[in-house]
Amino acid sequence: MIRNSTSDIEDLIALMAKLPGLGPRSARRAVLHLIRKRALLLTPLADVMTEVAATARECLNCGNIGTREICPLCTDPERANGELCVVEDVADLWAMERALVFKGRYHVLGGTLSALDAVGPEDLRIPRLVDRVATEGVSEVILALNATIDGQTTAHYIADQLQGQVRLTSLAQGVPIGGELDYLDDGTISAALRARKEI
């Protein structure tokens, strides 16, 4: 529809408008900004996107996104095997890491159970979690799921699966009702983790 522009620029605007947080107008602004900052922004962005498109993959062990079969968080010898923090998605893992308070391992479910969307345990990384608890010497599973209905349903389901095998904790109250980890400031996450409670 932007008749003055070439097809490539139109395509770029249309693709940028598909990003969460950008609409058509902000996509147009972003594309003009990219073209103005070609050497500083557009070319480096094109290069790193090409690289990430070729190399990004989910860690076979924990579901984190990285570039190797097994991610650095799973292989880092400095981190404790005994504590396993279960999160819904990679954004939540990043939020936990920014809080700089957890030094164990992670397990990324890849979503939550949802009757409405027909997401069952086999659609998430729950069987793999049960496996890891049985084989990795895990002594505590911290269920750091969002305080949403689906998040809490998922936490209860996982607690049922692991009951008796391991210490089960969840983040302390402090995570607001209906709140999502990735929206919280680092201090709130730190405080909630430090005050975590038995389930």
Side-by-side strand order, sheet with 167-170:
105-108, 83-87, 140-143, 167-170, 197-198
The set of residues, in sequence order, having a beta carbon less than 8 Å from that of 50 and lying 6+ positions away, is none
C-beta of 14 vs 159, nearer to its own copies: 14
Choose the stretch contacting Zn ion; rule: CB under 5 A; options: 71-79, 82-90, 117-125, 153-161.
71-79
Contact of residue 72 among Zn ion, its own copies, none (CB under 5-8 Å per partner type): its own copies
Smaller CB distance to Zn ion: residue 59 or 90? 59
Query: Residues 53, 54, 60, 65: what is their CA dihedral angle, to the nearest 10 degrees?
Result: -40
Work out what residue 141 binds among its own copies, Zn ion, none; the CB cut-off runs from 5 to 8 Å by kind.
Answer: none
Q: Which of 117, 175, 165 is nearest to 145 (CA)?
A: 175
Minimum CB distance to Zn ion, residue 75 (Å) = 8
Residue from 61, 64, 112, 146 touching its own copies (CB under 8 A): that is: 64
| 18 contacts its own copies (rule: CB under 8 A) | yes
Check if the beta carbon of residue 176 is closer than 8 Å to that of residue 144: no
